[in-house]
Structure formats: C-alpha cells, structure tokens
Amino acid sequence: MLITIDNVLTAEELAQGRQLLAEAQWASGLITAGPQAAVAKNNLQLPEGCPQLIALRQLVLGALNRNAMFFTAALPLKILPPFFNCYSGDTNHYGYHTDNAMRLLPDGSGYVRADVSATLFFSEPDEYEGGLLTIEDTFGAHGLKLKAGSMVVYPSSSIHQVAPVTSGQRLACFMFIQSMVRDPGQRRTLYDMDMALLDLREQYGETGPVVRLTGIYHNLLRRWADS
C-alpha cells in the first residue's frame, strides 16, 4: 500500500526545517547502509551528534503525532528516530534496494522492525532535476516527486530507488516504522475500512450501521495488533 499525504508540515515548520538543514554539516550516507545497500547508495546524511538533528527529529515527530492520515496508514507502534539526507553534485543517487527488516536504534538500545517506510520531502520539485523516488509494488513501479512538506508512506519490503539528481539539491527525511499490524494485507484492509467509514460519516452521520461498522474496524484492530 502506497499512500501520499500532503501538508504534513506547516509552512512555518517547513521553513524551520529547511533552515536547520542549511546550517547542518553532512556526512556520507553509508553510515546507515548495510552491505547490499552500500553498493547502491551514494548520498549525504546527517550523522548522529549533528547539532541540528534533535530539533529536526522533534519537528518531524511532532507533525506525525498530529496527522490522522499517517496514523491510519501506518498504525505506528514504534518510529525509529528520523534520518535526513541530501542528494546533489557527485553524491546524487541511491540505486534499487530494499530496506533492512531490523533497524538498530541510534543509541544502540534495541531494534525497530521496519514494516513501513516513509519519505518526507523538504525540497520543492522545481528546485532539483531528476531525483525521482521510484517504488515497486504488485501493480508496477510508481515514480514520485512530491511538494515540500508532503510525504509518501509505503511497505518497507518494497524495492525502491532515488534516481540521480542532475542539478539542484534534493533534501528529505526518511524514516522506518514498526506497525501495530505487521501484515501489509491487514493494514490495507484496516485503511480501506477507515477511509470508507469517514465517507459514510460525512454522508449519513453516526447512524446505527456506521457505529456497528466502526466497532468491526476496532475489533479487527484488536485482533491483529501487537502491543
């Protein structure tokens, strides 16, 4: 399931985030690459210990915590502290790869299972050439280049790439989420039910059938969710 969410960040948050990224010192993106990804990965990333990283992570996590669509799509149980990357110049691409299933927490205290991946864009589409994020699923390949402040959410099991940035600079936040519901088919069913319930409430209000269908949604979530 691939979901795009517009306006995750407010205009003020986006401006603040871009300023912090402009002030930061970048390191090689290989700092978080596994052996297979290291062959394909050629970008820059903010390292742990970067002075701007705490504020950037707080900004992104605060925006996610208030976003109902993100919750519905990901059903997050744990979110690995977000990372930030830059594609430009000679460090300009990340070839086709799949994300590791288990991601070590930055402080080394444990792991987060990567069920869902997400990319939050900080650069506007007209600020760089190339840099298309392509995600493969059972329905084919989907190329995305979203406006700044918007996000795409997709299964971490998907094969994906960032095409070479041929001019300009592509700034983004990427993150990994352990979902309460690890099965992607079950997450899709719950998402579809939730979206249908929203439509029914708008059309008919909290009628008896809508209340009962809402109960079915939550009973399925209870059955399928980890805690």
Domain with residue 210: its CATH number is: 4.10.860
pTM: 0.94
Same domain for 210 and 141: no
Same domain for 199 and 163: no
Same domain for 91 and 41: yes
Same domain for 194 and 130: no
Average pLDDT, 10 consecutive residues per value, the chain (227 residues): 96 98 94 76 96 98 97 97 97 93 93 97 98 92 96 96 97 98 96 97 96 97 92
Tell me how long the chain is: 227
Same domain for 209 and 118: no
How many domains does one find in the chain? 2
State the pLDDT at residue 101. 95
State the Cα–Cα distance between residues 122 and 21, nearest whole angstrom. Answer: 9
Same domain for 88 and 196: no
Same domain for 188 and 82: no
Same domain for 107 and 142: yes
Single-letter code of the amino acid located at 181: V
State the pLDDT at residue 38. 73
Listed in order, strand segments (DSSP E) in the chain are: 3-5, 27-28, 41-42, 44-45, 76-79, 83-87, 93-97, 102-104, 111-113, 116-121, 128-130, 133-137, 140-144, 151-155, 160-162, 165-168, 170-179
Same domain for 150 and 38: yes
Q: How many CB atoms lie within 10 A of CB 78?
A: 16
Same domain for 119 and 220: no
| Residue 195 structural domain | 184-224
Same domain for 216 and 115: no
Same domain for 53 and 165: yes
What CATH number has the domain bearing residue 73? 2.60.120.620
